[in-house]
Amino acid sequence: MIDSTTVALPSTHPLADGRTADAPLVRALRGDRPERLPVWFMRQAGRSLPEYRELRVGTAMLDACLDPAMASEITLQPVRRHGVDAGIFFSDIVVPIKLAGVDVDIVPGRGPVLGRPIRTAADVAALESLDPSALTPIAEAVARTVAELGTTPLIGFAGAPFTLAAYLVEGGPSKDHIRARTLMHADPETWDRLLGWAADVSGVFLRAQVLAGASAAQLFDSWVGSLSRADYTARVAPHSARALAHVADLGVPTIHFGVGSGEVLADMAAVGADAVGVDWRIPLDDAARRVADADVTLQGNIDPAMLAAPWPVLEAHVRDVVVRGGAARAHVVNLGHGVPPETDPTVLTRVVGLVHDLGDGRATGDGRTTGAGRSAHEGLGA
């Protein structure tokens, strides 16, 4: 069942052999409105799940990411529990830069921390390219996961070049990324070389996941909200396009998500992904107007803070998100950012059931949504 959009994929790939070609997520990302809205959650695999916390005891984060059996099991846990319409590969955006030789670790309670920041032309020149053979554990983990998922698609992901560069220059998490933004203007030539390197590292990382079986790919720009529109379009967007170009020939649908991205949403849509993720700050009907010139699906944008609200409040919010998402060509329901670690997992399962019960998400004349969804408990590959 290989068509013109998947000729570069292995014949055993889930999109090429048809397992995920008609999945609601894949259809929505490609601009269709399936009979049931697809829903998944960023950071659905992780600290909110007791089975995850039990599995991770005694294992450092990056070690878990590079253990194929563990990474696969963690990816599968929320799909089993919640009945979401996709798995998101369990990894971290700094995994590819670590595999490229950068001294980086994830410090509990703080995040990625570098042994030595990358701040000069000499520092950038010393960076090594990512050898695809270093990604063998990633490919194995993806293959294990896809074999279990059946008709449920797996989403691969990578950090966008600006977010990676922000960590590299700052040396760790930062509130304003002022060192990175300073480098952008003080030494634009070095900046461009750094982002070009980051784009290729992320692109190689994404490509390995897709070739191993991922049916979609998301580029995640955590810190794009710290940029002006002028800086984004001139100094960042071309590199994000370069990262996505690494999978363009493979024909998989792509998602471009950024936090605090309202001012650059239209520019992110113009980078070339099939879908743009929207955080919780902008109503989806407003977002649809902002990206009207681009033929893109919208993903989002339940406020993560609402997950701790009383169910009637959360339910009303989810219904509002779905109705507003009707303004887009297609809609993938998600959070406006990641699942907070203190979230009650039963709430996520209940949200999945509600979204599936709302059918295709198009509002009828009386304000209700049409269609009927399946249960959130039908399991993997259903």
Q: Are the CB atoms for 218 and 180 separated by under 8 Å?
A: no
pLDDT at res. 371 = 40
The answer, yes or no, to whether residue 323 has pLDDT greater than 90, is: yes
Is the pLDDT reported for residue 372 higher than 70?
no
pLDDT band at 172; cut points 50, 70, 90:
confident
Residue 338 above 50 pLDDT?
A: yes
Cis peptide bond upstream of 334, omega within 30: no
Q: Which CATH class is domain 24-357?
A: alpha beta
Q: Distance between CA atoms of 15 and 296, rounded to whole angstroms? A: 20
Domain residue spans of the chain: 24-357
Quick one: pLDDT at residue 174?
A: 86
Q: How far apart are CA 97 and CA 337, in angstroms?
A: 23
State the average pLDDT for the chain: 92
Please report which confidence band the pLDDT of residue 366 belongs to, taking 50, 70 and 90 as the band edges: very low
| Residues marked as catalytic | 43, 47, 56, 92, 167
Q: 């293959």: which residue's tokens?
A: 143
- Distance CA(372)–CA(354), nearest Å, equals 10
pLDDT band at 375 (very low <50, low <70, confident <90, very high): very low
- Pull the structure tokens for residue 255: 């998602």
Beta carbons of 322 and 370 less than 8 angstroms apart: no
Quote the pLDDT of residue 363.
Answer: 57
Whether the pTM exceeds 0.85: the reply is yes
CA–CA gap between residue 21 and residue 314 (Å, rounded): 32
